[in-house]
Amino acid sequence: MAQRFLSSTHRFSARFAFIFTVSLSCTYLCYSIIFCRGTIMTNQGYEGKRCPPSKTAGGAKKLLGNVDNCASLEMRSALDETAAARRGSTEPRDQSKVPAASGSHWADMKLRNMTVAQKYGNKKLPNALIVGVKKGGTRAVLEFIRIHPDVRALGTEPHFFDRNYDRGLDWYRALMPRTLDSQITLEKTPSYFVTREAPRRITSMSHETKLIVVVRNPVTRAISDYTQTLSKKPDIPTFEDLAFKNRSQGLVDTSWNAIRIGMYILHLENWLQYFRLSQMHFVSGERLITDPAGEMGRVQDFLGLKRIITDKHFYFNRTKGFPCLKKPESSSQPRCLGKSKGRTHVQIDREVIEQLREFYRPFNIKFYETVGQDFKWD
């Protein structure tokens, strides 16, 4: 009887052990499945948050520095646009192979501010405008000043105050890049300076707008203007025919826009009806070539910016005859203006040049006296 009882107990214990083992195994298997699934979902979520691959990924790694490893889509787009702009406006590298001193630092500052502005900034009406003059060096000033981390500039010319004013300020504001409260919003349209309605329209937007005017020897400017037009319309009359009503009598045709733009004092008098002279800064197109750091230093002072853009950022490109920005450490190429900048001027007879110098002299002198600056064009 006792033996039969022990045998029954042994069988029960064996069955219990088997069932317990199977239950424990199933429990372990279920937990393993749940854990693995959670890990997979977590990884998928992480992958979803990673930034998509960018054509500039290699350069971006150096540029971003301590910025978040995962940049926003807007930042990636901005990097792609910057790289495209550099590819489209570069020249052979001579001194440009030397990176700008502290290039990584200012590039990081610029990129960091741009990243934050893209995420948290607002589109605002511009605080400052480059209003002129055509063929004076406005594109160079824009490209040079926009490397400053506290400046966000519109790359294209909106022509709001001369051609698109009827579209309204909301349309104009929507064109602007996003900026932080500490940043300056800037745009460039050189034709504003010679548009009679422009100063009245600008002051109605804001009485405190700062105005930058890039001026150049009016004779050289007119020849440059003509050279540009000739490249697009090769069948136009000669420079001499357009510049004079009667060359033998020295009668200059002031109705020709290339001549009239250079009569700076006439246009300035219109602006001074709406703006104080202290709100205007005049950049010398000549000194912008020979001393870009000095001219840009004064522009930064005028805008109330710290002098970050210095001579360490520039080198002189002998092919273009114009200064270019040294390449940042994050870029393999320098940053020069496009092919249309620095083109060889049409050869003009020396007597024609002297006649135009005599014509412009009284206008120049009055302009010097008004702005309190001698540009030494005479």
Nearest alpha carbon to residue 230 among 360, 367, 347: 347
pLDDT given at position 350 = 96
Both tokens of 293, joined, read 């750091």
The residue assigned the tokens 């114009």 is: 322
pLDDT given at position 237 = 97
Q: Which of 135, 188, 210, 327 is catalytic?
A: 135
Residue 342 corresponds to which amino acid?
G
Average pLDDT, the chain: 80
pLDDT given at position 33 = 57
Q: Binding site residues for 3'-phosphoadenylyl sulfate, as ranges? A: 135-139, 216, 224, 341-345
Is the predicted pLDDT of residue 59 greater than 60, yes or no? no
Q: What is the mean pLDDT of residues 292-303?
A: 98
pLDDT given at position 14 = 64
Task: Read off the pLDDT of residues 238-250 as tens digits, 9 standing for 90 and up.
Answer: 999 999 999 999 9
Is the predicted pLDDT of residue 229 greater than 70, yes or no? yes
Cα–Cα distance measured from residue 345 to residue 224, given in angstroms and rounded to the nearest whole number = 6
Q: Where are the alpha helices (DSSP H) in 210-261?
A: 218-232, 239-243, 257-260
pLDDT given at position 50 = 36
Cα–Cα distance measured from residue 298 to residue 243, given in angstroms and rounded to the nearest whole number = 34
Residue 31 burial (10 A CB sphere; 0-12, 13-18, 19+): exposed
* Residue 118 neighbours by CB under 8 Å, 6+ apart: 72, 74, 75, 78, 178
Task: Read off the pLDDT of residues 264-275 as tens digits, 9 standing for 90 and up.
Answer: 999 999 999 999
Q: pTM for this structure?
A: 0.71
pLDDT given at position 151 = 98
Is the predicted pLDDT of residue 40 greater than 50, yes or no? no
Both tokens of 176, joined, read 């602007």
Q: Under DSSP, is residue 339 helix (H, G, I), strand (E, B) or coil? A: coil
The CA distances from residue 80 to 64, 67, 69, 146, 180, in Å, are 14, 17, 17, 17, 22
Q: What is the mean pLDDT of residues 182-204?
A: 98
Q: Which of these ranges, 45-54, 142-151, 300-309, has the smallest mean pLDDT?
A: 45-54
pLDDT given at position 291 = 97
Confidence of residue 230 (pLDDT cuts 50, 70, 90): very high
Residue 136 burial (10 A CB sphere; 0-12, 13-18, 19+): buried
Confidence of residue 290 (pLDDT cuts 50, 70, 90): very high
Task: Read off the pLDDT of residues 317-372 as tens digits, 9 standing for 90 and up.
Answer: 888 888 999 876 555 566 787 666 666 889 999 999 999 999 999 999 999 999 99
Q: Under DSSP, is residue 347 helix (H, G, I), strand (E, B) or coil? A: coil
Could you give the count of Cα atoms lying within 13 Å of 272 in the half-sphere of its Cβ? 12
The verdict on whether 135 is a catalytic residue reads: yes
Cα–Cα distance measured from residue 306 to residue 297, given in angstroms and rounded to the nearest whole number = 9
Q: Which of these ranges, 100-114, 152-166, 189-203, has the smallest mean pLDDT?
A: 100-114
Q: What is the mean pLDDT of residues 196-216?
A: 98
Q: Binding site residues, as ranges? A: 135-139, 216, 224, 341-345
pLDDT given at position 115 = 76
Q: What is the mean pLDDT of residues 46-51?
A: 36
Nearest alpha carbon to residue 305 among 83, 109, 174, 74: 109
Task: Read off the pLDDT of residues 90-127 as tens digits, 9 standing for 90 and up.
Answer: 343 444 444 444 555 656 666 667 777 777 799 999 99
Q: Please, are residues 309 and 142 in contact by the beta-carbon 8 Å criterion? A: no
